Structure formats: C-alpha cells, structure tokens
Amino acid sequence: MAAIPIKNRLSPKAPQDTPSRILEAAERLFLQHGFAATSMRMITAEAEVNLAAVNYHFGSKDALIEAVFTRRLGPLNRQRLGHLDRLESLAEGAPLKLETIVEAFIGSAFVNEGSANDGARLFAQLLGRAYSEPSGGVRDILYNQNKEVIKRFKAALKKALPHLSAEELVWRMHFVFGSISYTQSGTDALRLVAKYELSDGSYPQTVVKRLLPFLCAGLQAPATMHAPTVLAKVS
Amino acid sequence: MAAIPIKNRLSPKAPQDTPSRILEAAERLFLQHGFAATSMRMITAEAEVNLAAVNYHFGSKDALIEAVFTRRLGPLNRQRLGHLDRLESLAEGAPLKLETIVEAFIGSAFVNEGSANDGARLFAQLLGRAYSEPSGGVRDILYNQNKEVIKRFKAALKKALPHLSAEELVWRMHFVFGSISYTQSGTDALRLVAKYELSDGSYPQTVVKRLLPFLCAGLQAPATMHAPTVLAKVS
DNA sequence: GTCTATAAACGGATAGAC
DNA sequence: GTCTATCCGTTTATAGAC
C-alpha cells in the first residue's frame, strides 16, 4: 500500500485537488479581506487554478462561501459536543465547573483537532469574522449548524450558574461570543489598544489562557438589578 | 431670531441638505450590508439624491466612508473625555470606581448626546461593525481618532485595577471591546443564542445595564497564571 | 476536468448641459 | 448644485474547444 496518504502531506506546494485548493485559498482571503471584497479572481489566483474552476466545482460564489463553512463546521462541532459529552458523563449529573465548560467551548474553537493542521486555526479566525457579518447569508449557515451546540452549552451553563435567569444567561453568552469572536478574528485589532508589540504574541494557547478568567468572572457576576442606572438621569 | 434651528427639526421627511442625506443613508446601509457590499448607487437611491452627488460632495466612496465616521467620532470622543475629566476632577487623584469608568466609556457609546437623535444610536452600531472590519481603511481611521480616548481610559483602568500587569490590562480591554462591539453591531446575533424574542428587547439602556456587571467582573478577575492549562494535555 | 473567450451586469468615477 | 449620459474597469457566470 502507499506510504503516506496524500491528504496528510503537509509539504510545501502540496499538489492537492482543485476543490481543496480553492476552499483553502478562499478561507485565507475571506479572512483577510471579508467576503464581499474577495473576488473569485483573487481566489483562483491564490489557489493557482483556473477561474472557471470555482463555478465548475461549487456552482457560484455564494455556494463556495457556504462550502467553506460547512466543511469545517461539522467536525468542529462534533468535537465540541464530544468534549462536553465526556465531561458530563464524568460528572454523573452534577453541574460542571464553569471554567471547564467555557474551556471546552472556547478551547475547541481555538486549538482544533490534532492541531497539526493550522488550516483549522485559520478557520477559527474566519468564524470570528463571520459572526460579525451582516445578517442573512453567512449568518444563517452559522445559526443552523451551531444551534445544537449552543443548546447543549446553554444547558450546561444553566446548571453551573443557577443564580442567573434564562434571559440573563442568554445575554451573557452573547457577550462571551463577542469577546471570543473579536479575539479570534485577528489580533490586528489589538493594535488599537496597544500599539507596541506584545511579548507573548498571538499564540492560541496564550490567548485562551488570558480569555478564560475574564469570561468566567464575567459569567459569574451577580445578576443585574432592574433599577434605573446612573446614566438614566437627564443631561 | 429664528424660532427653531433647522438642524433640530425631527419631522418626518425633513428636507435636509444633500450631504447630510447622503451621510445618513450611507450610515444606514453600511451598517446593514457592510462597506464593500454597499454601492454608491444603493446610497444615492436611499438618500434620494443623484448618483453624481456623492462624488461632487465627497470626492470618492472612500472619502465618504471616512466622512461618515469623522462626523460623529469627534463629538462622541469629546463627550467621553469630558465625562472622564469630570469624574477624575471629582475624585481628586484617587482611583475611580471601576464601574464608573466602564460606564463612562460604554454608556457614551450607546446612549449618545441629547439622545433625541437616534442617528447617534445607529452610529454606535456602525462602530461595532467597523471594529470587526478587515485591517486597513476603516480601521486606520478608528485608530487615529480613538487613540487619545483609549490612552486616557487605559490610564484610568490601570489605577483602578492595580493587580493587573500592563500586558494583562491590554488584553482585557481587548476582550471588553469585543463584547461591546459585538453587542453594538446589532442584536441580530442574539438570535444565534436565543431563538425566541427577548422581553426587554434591545433598548440601549437595558443592554448597558446587562453589559456592565459582566465587563466589570471580567476586568476584576484574578491575573492569569502562567502555567499550562488543562487543554494542553494531548488527546 | 481544465482551459480560453466572452457574455451580461455592476462597480466607481467624470464630462458637460442646465 | 444638480442632472443625464457615458467611460471604463471589474464582477460573476457560462459557452464551447480541448
């Protein structure tokens, strides 16, 4: 039998099949420039394939965008659910530790799979961008493919944070997604805060390590009081 | 003198001047579709002005984008700095309460100016989108116009959170901006978590009220330990 | 499956009449 | 300042040779 399966080769200029080359080029360019600003010509140039290949293999640009997401979202979410399954069966019905839940969600998002493949890390960043895209299109794909995962994590969080109402929990998850997306979608934004170079850079594990305590503390904050805030006073 | 200045009129179909009509149409459409996906033809149709008017009044599409931001960013940041100035002079050198600082920053972003103008609220959402745009272009504008404000708030936070290293603080501010941007850039994303309608909707004051405790608790979390996390174990 | 060539529509920008 | 008409490059998508 053959020595090494072709798809596991990571050598430079690995001669992949055309659809894969297109998917990966699109992933990189969508991340860098956004969806609307990335043309099929840019993609086919980056992938070093013919312009007509995209329509031949995927049908249209929109279909390509969808394909970029569906290819990775399935495995990623299976991994997240598997991680949560294992944790819950170990706990035998008891609420999980908050940090464990968040780490299972966030960690899976940042350091994927065997982690040898850095395409997965690129995709994690792309996910961050996708969540901040205009409604419709990409967002619907994400909603449909993620709803099961979100449902499961919401249930786990609900047990771990009994002091929060269902509504409050939904908001806090929203805020959590915000921090994760923003952080995932590229460390460029960090320059807005720190113009100097950061010492530990943007290595995924480091980011997760810094993000975790922030998110857990935020989630555990006392429930919101329903009195008018200071800002409500007229100016 | 005249009874009511024209610019304070809020009557329906107020016949504004062409540049303002364009700026406000652009604001709405950029928010809804993103920058690259919004064409000048869409803008001029929405504003009910002639296509050539954009180039006549602003010079180019890029210049229009810049104008959309600079028009509102100046007043908004003056307001933020003024708010912080007042708080700091009251405190007479003592560190400000964390919640006060965050509220000054975030509150100004959500409920703007006299608050009668809901254009300002639209802009707050647009800001959220802009922060998650690809690097270059819009981001440079934001960086330049916001660096003074960020510097001031960073200094205030540093005094209020002495247990954090400079580096840790920068990361936490990054996470805070993430939650704010994501939350600002439209409540549509909330549907990803809660498919049902939320009872208190997306009224700015409510959002701020819910966001504040989350962010403050996150900022106050203990500093990150520099040991390997649970996830570091091989699978 | 891959290529060239081209269709058909849309993008930003401008010239010139009014 | 506002309008029409138009230039010209780019876009997605397809037809048809190989």
Q: pLDDT tens across B91-142, in order?
A: 999 999 999 999 998 866 665 444 445 666 678 778 878 877 776 778 888 8
CB-based contact, B125 to chain A, within 8 Å: no
Please answer whether residues B173 and B164 qualify as being in contact, where contact means their C-beta atoms are separated by less than 8 angstroms: no
pLDDT at A95 > cutoff 70: yes
Within 10 angstroms of residue A190's Cβ, the number of other Cβ atoms is 20
| Tokens encoding B220 | 């106050």
Q: Which of A136-140, A168-172, B159-163 is predicted least confidently? A: A136-140
Task: Give yes or no for B204 touching A (CB within 8 A).
Answer: no
In residues, how long is chain B?
Answer: 235
Helix (H, G, I), strand (E, B) or coil at B229: coil
In this model, does residue B158 exceed pLDDT 90? yes
Residue A38's pLDDT band (boundaries 50, 70, 90)? Answer: very high
**Roughly what angle, to the nearest 10 degrees, separates helices B98-110 and B138-160?**
160
Asked if the model's pLDDT at residue A9 lies above 60, the reply is: no
Identify nearest nucleotide to residue A54 by CA to C1′ distance: D13
Does B187 have pLDDT greater than 70?
Answer: no
User: How far A130 CA lies from chain B's nearest CA (Å)?
Assistant: 10
- The whole-angstrom separation of Cα A60 and Cα A40 is 9
Mean pLDDT of A141-147: 87
Interface test with B, best of A182, A219, A234 (most B CBs within 10 A): A182
The residues of the protein lying within 7 Å (CB) of strand D read: A 38-42, 51-52, 55-56, 59-62; B 17-18, 49-53, 56-57
* CA pair distance A58, B29, nearest whole angstrom: 29
* Integer Cα distance of B116 and B99 in angstroms: 25
Distance B208 CA to D5 C1' (A): 51
Of B81 and B233, the structure prediction assigns the larger pLDDT to B81
Q: What is the pLDDT of residue A198?
A: 57
CB contact under 8 A, A178 and B181: yes
Residues in chain B with CB shorter than 8 Å from the CB of A218 are 179, 214-215, 217-218, 221
Helix (H) or strand (E) holding B6: none
Residue identified by tokens 């599409």 is B61
Chain B touched by A232 (CB under 8 Å): yes
pLDDT at B45 over 80: yes
Give the per-residue pLDDT at B99: 94
CA dihedral A126, A127, A129, A132 (to 10 degrees): 170
- Using the Cβ of A145 and the Cβ atoms of chain B, whether some distance falls under 8 Å is answered with no
Closest nucleotide to B53 by C1' from CA = D2
- Range among A26-30, B222-226, B227-231 rated most confident: A26-30
Residue of A nearest to B216 (CA): A218
Q: From the CB of residue A175, how many other CB atoms can be counted at a distance below 10 Å?
A: 25
Residues 6+ apart with CB under 8 A from A57: A18, A19, A22
Distance CA A67, CA A72 (A): 9
Residue A113's pLDDT band (cuts 50, 70, 90)? very low
Q: How confident is the model at residue A193 (pLDDT cuts 50, 70, 90)?
A: low
CA distance B204 to chain A (A): 11
Whether A182 sits inside 8 A of B33 (CB atoms) is no
> Which of A43-57, B85-99, B171-185 shows the lowest mean pLDDT across its residues?
B171-185
Q: What is the pLDDT of residues B62-75, one digit of tens each?
A: 999 999 999 999 88
Please tell me the distance from the alpha carbon of residue B44 to that of residue B23, in angstroms, as a whole number. 10
Q: If you write DSSP's letter for every residue of chain A in order, what string do you get?
A: --SS-GGG---TT----HHHHHHHHHHHHHHHH-STT--HHHHHHHHTS-THHHHHHHSSHHHHHHHHHHHHHHHHHHHHHHHHHHHHHHHTTSPPPHHHHHHHHHHHHHS-TTS--THHHHHHHHHHHHHTSPSSTHHHHHHHHHHHHHHHHHHHHHHH-TTS-HHHHHHHHHHHHHHHHHHHT-GGGGGGT--SPPTTTT-HHHHHHHHHHHHHHHHHSPPPP-S--GGGS--
Rounded, the Å distance between the CA of A229 and C1' of D11 is: 50
Q: Does the pLDDT of residue B231 top 50, yes or no?
A: no
Q: In the block, which residue shows the tokens 């956004």?
A: A34
What does chain A come to in residues? 235
Residue B182 and residue A131: Cβ atoms within 8 Å? Answer: yes
Across chain B, mean pLDDT equals: 82
pLDDT given at position A215: 98
C-alpha distances in Å from residue A120, one per residue of A82, A126, A187, A205, B122: 17, 10, 17, 14, 35
- For chain A, the C-alpha Rg in angstroms (whole number) is 20
- The token pair at A66 is 């969808």
Q: Do A229 and B213 touch (CB under 8 A)?
A: no
Global pTM value:
0.85
Residue of A nearest to B189 (CA): A131
Q: CB-based contact (8 Å) between A125 and chain B?
A: no
Checking if the pLDDT of B4 tops 60, the result is no
DSSP state of B181: H
